[in-house]
Amino acid sequence: MILLALVASLAVVAYAAWRYLPRSSTGFTLVGLRLLFLLAFFWVLLLPGKKSALTEVIKPRFIVLLDVSGSMSQSADVTAQRTRWESAMALLNEADWIKKLRASCLLEVYPFHADLDSPVGLDQLGTLKPEGKSSHLNLSLNRLFERLRGQELAGVLVLTDAIDTREKKDTWAELTWPAPLYVAELEKPGLPDDKPDMRVDMVDTPRRAIVGWDTAMSVTVAGQGGKGEPFQVQLLKTGKEIDKVAVQLPPEGGSRDVQFKLSHPEVGTETYTVRIPVLPGEVQTNDNEMVVAVDVLDAKNRVLFLEDVPRFESKHFARSLFANKDITPLAFFQMPSRTAPGTKEWIAYGDRQGLVFDLTPEQISLNKIIVLGDFDAEALSAEHCRTILGFVEKGGSLILLGGQKLWGASGIAQTELAKLLPFTRAGSPALEGKFNVAWTAEGRAHPALANNPDMPSALPPVLSVFTGVTLSGGAFALAEAQTDSGTHPLLVSRIYGQGKVLAVLTDSLWRWVMQPGEDKPYPKFWRQIVQWMSPSESDLDNYHLELFTDAGTIAVGDPAILQSRLVIPPNETRKNWKVSCEITTPSDRVIPLAMAGRSIQASGGAELPGYVAEFVPNEPGNYRAMATVEIDGKKIVSTPCLFTVRATSQEMVLKPINDNVLKALARSSGGRYGTPEEIDATLQDLRVNERRERKLEYRSLWQTPFVLACLIALLAIEWVTRKLKNMS
């Protein structure tokens, strides 16, 4: 078509020149200018370009992960005559593998201790010193592969003693790693002396519990020596022994987890101490105990979610519950038992893994809403059903977030809970398809949804509907699904006794989360429903001050970072309040601190407005900190924050290298574990495949200032010539 347009244009020019232009030099000049313009314009319309190919050699990276923590300056092998750091430097400076790999790889050194540092070149190794106060090997490895994601890695040389002060177990090393790890044995694995040295490594328990509920405490004790004789691990509550257990470790050293069960009969702050009595001949005793505080809360605005095996509906529903700041949710899933094959056990969701769950009237009564997931009749005993019935009759709310099990022929209709159902239904399978959803007149006027501008008038479709429903007396549908066979109730509500019941007759309501755009009806809907089913006032309507530390155990001289968060009512404007903190030392000395306003990191990576103070302890023992703020003449006090300070950092306690972790890293990654000499030989024989990448480069030949200037110039010259010759 461009060619046809050119031919037509040339024909028009030829006819106009023959018909109107004089047979003179001026006429021939004008014809030439016009023909040059048309030819140049035709060339531009063809969009000419030049394609060139470039082949680039992509060298893979070879990474050295170098431990710069303080333990690298030691050596537990008295025959080695050099420290672990000196062995690592010899492998980096005196070995021959670097000369071989430097030609085919990009070599980088990543130092790490508490976290992964920025990479340095091999010529900058002299600036590094093993002065880090902690080793976080697992964290640094994961950060390394996350930072180098998508890049070609020939391998990673790991130079560390693997004495990780963060991990309480070594099973993490058995994971699959994205690149082979070549791990050097910086000293011969050995045994420490036979003097007993026992310590409490970690205490893991929920720091917040609900009154009347039991929680679990997991204690990791470690040590060596003691000739393998059993020793006592004591649990004290406010200084009084409430439990103890005998523990036995092998003489060569090891660790073991001990479990305690905690009961919380009253609201308040409970202080627990885990203690190992000093053994005969034990020298280092400052790490024999650890103190934790548990904040016991009341049961106001608590939501209990019970589900069988997790599914898409329960996953998204649990997320919406935990994102709702007006409630305190507890979620439990039934999973195959790890101790009794063929049975199931309750597993807590999220950060509440320590909760011990029994469906008792006492525990049920502590909640305002119960959400029952997809269970069949066999999963709910008659006693469980009577407990839930009594809960609803006395004013509790029940949400039935069912699926094929709950609404099937062997579901809830076969239990005593059939009394509170807002409908009757034959247990037929769900109707599947894509069905539009609309509010009913009752739904638009419902207290949970009326006068709420956030709820959209049009709802996303669902993919399943449990049909064949006949509403009971006093029940009404909030929303209906529109199918080829007519409309079917989707959300049904009723009052039972003094309580409320809501049934969800689809297992695809979670599809509302997939709605495009920022207006997500799923969390808004559940927020409104939970608010309607809960009391009008909540715990968060008042001011609340939280105080916590970045670590539960530190060493003398290490800084303790105290962080505080002030929770204010939703309608309150945050002001420049002054938050202070008082620390009580083991010698009962009170140290006041002013907390500076600063953003603090929340779970999930979000940043929240908060307050931060730094404190450097100078004596070992148990410390107690409390934050205070005065608002409108009222003093708000945080719950106590406890942390333990040890005389010697665990980083500097002389231990042999953790060869079990080092071997596991090499084995699980497909790498190699060996002495520095063996690693040197292995890396010299390492085959590196260079990747060649062919890149195509396109360069436009028409879209240039010169070409465009020529087009404009031809038209301008023709126009000027016509004007000078008085031609139209």
- Could you tell me which of 104, 90, 2 has the C-alpha nearest to residue 60? 104
pLDDT recorded at residue 519? 63
CA distance 502 to 493: 4
Strands 302-307 and 328-336, by their bridges, are: parallel
| Residue 30 three-state SS | helix
- Could you tell me which of 548, 531, 533, 558 has the C-alpha nearest to residue 638? 548
Spatial contact of 353 and 347, defined as CB atoms under 8 Å apart: yes
CA distance 256 to 253: 10
CA distance 286 to 646: 6
The full DSSP string for 439-505 is E-HHHHTSTTTTT-TTS-SSEEEEEEE---EEEPTT-EEEEEEEETTEEEEEEEEEEETTEEEEEE-
Place of tokens 């009222």: 634
CA dihedral for 293, 299, 303, 304, sign (positive or negative): positive
Angle at 306 between CA 378 and CA 213, to 5 degrees: 110
pLDDT recorded at residue 605? 41
CA distance 58 to 691: 5
Whether residue 452 has pLDDT greater than 50:
yes
Whether residue 552 has pLDDT greater than 70:
no
Distances (CA, A) of 514 to 310, 430, 509, 521: 19, 21, 10, 10
The mean pLDDT value of the chain amounts to: 83
The full DSSP string for 135-149 is --HHHHHHHHHHHTT
pLDDT recorded at residue 283? 77
In which band, very low, low, confident or very high, does the pLDDT at 89 lie, cut at 50, 70 and 90? Answer: very high
CA distance 44 to 51: 17
Spatial contact of 247 and 170, defined as CB atoms under 8 Å apart: no
Tokens of 568: 């204010």
Provide the phi-psi class of 378: left if phi over 0, else alpha when psi is between -120 and 50, else beta: alpha
Q: Among 258-267, 449-458, 585-594, whose mean pLDDT is lowest?
A: 449-458
Tokens of 603: 């779970």
Q: What are phi and psi of 510, to 5 degrees?
A: -65, -15
pLDDT recorded at residue 103? 83
Q: Over range 621-629, report the average pLDDT.
A: 88
Whether residue 658 has pLDDT greater than 80:
yes
Strands 553-555 and 641-646, by their bridges, are: parallel
Give the containing element (helix H, strand E) for 50: strand 49-58
CA distance 205 to 274: 12
Tokens of 700: 């436009």
DSSP secondary structure letter of residue 86: H
pLDDT recorded at residue 536? 41
Which is higher by pLDDT, 271 or 455? 271
Q: What is the 3-state secondary structure (H, E, C) of 347-377?
A: EECCCCCCEECCCCHHHHCCCCEEEECCCCH
**CB < 8 Å & 24+ apart, contacts of 685-690:** 686/97, 686/100, 686/101, 686/154, 686/155, 688/60, 688/62, 688/101, 688/104, 688/105, 688/154, 689/60, 690/57, 690/58, 690/59, 690/60, 690/104
Q: Name, of 336-345, 595-604, 609-618, the range with top average pLDDT.
A: 609-618
pLDDT recorded at residue 571? 63
pLDDT tens-digit readout, 120-175:
988 888 899 998 878 889 889 988 998 998 888 999 999 999 887 667 677 788 88
In which band, very low, low, confident or very high, does the pLDDT at 541 lie, cut at 50, 70 and 90? Answer: very low
CB atoms within 10 A of CB 152: 16
Q: What is the 3-state secondary structure (H, E, C) of 678-691?
A: HHHHHHHCCCCCCE
Sequence-distant (≥ 6) Cβ neighbours of residue 573 within 8 angstroms = none
- Could you tell me which of 293, 294, 412, 311 has the C-alpha nearest to residue 355? 294
The identity of residue 576, as a single letter, is N
pLDDT recorded at residue 91? 92
CA distance 598 to 603: 16
Q: Over range 348-353, report the average pLDDT.
A: 58
Q: Over range 455-476, report the average pLDDT.
A: 83
DSSP secondary structure letter of residue 300: T
CA distance 231 to 224: 12
CB atoms within 10 A of CB 590: 9
pLDDT recorded at residue 192? 53
- Could you tell me which of 195, 203, 221, 202 has the C-alpha nearest to residue 279? 195
Q: Among 188-197, 252-261, 446-455, whose mean pLDDT is lowest?
A: 446-455
- Could you tell me which of 191, 180, 222, 321 has the C-alpha nearest to residue 687? 180
pLDDT tens-digit readout, 203-259:
888 766 777 777 888 888 888 777 778 899 999 998 899 999 988 887 767 788 888
End-to-end Cα spacing for the chain: 30
pTM: 0.47
Tokens of 83: 């420290």
Which is higher by pLDDT, 6 or 538? 6
DSSP secondary structure letter of residue 210: E
Distances (CA, A) of 211 to 298, 365, 500: 6, 11, 24
CA distance 110 to 99: 19
In which band, very low, low, confident or very high, does the pLDDT at 290 lie, cut at 50, 70 and 90? Answer: confident
Whether residue 449 has pLDDT greater than 70:
no
DSSP secondary structure letter of residue 72: G
Q: Over range 622-648, report the average pLDDT.
A: 83
Spatial contact of 167 and 253, defined as CB atoms under 8 Å apart: no
CA distance 561 to 661: 30
Distances (CA, A) of 616 to 289, 504, 565, 647, 698: 20, 55, 21, 13, 61
pLDDT recorded at residue 682? 92
Residue 11 burial (10 A CB sphere; 0-12, 13-18, 19+): exposed
Q: Over range 573-588, report the average pLDDT.
A: 88
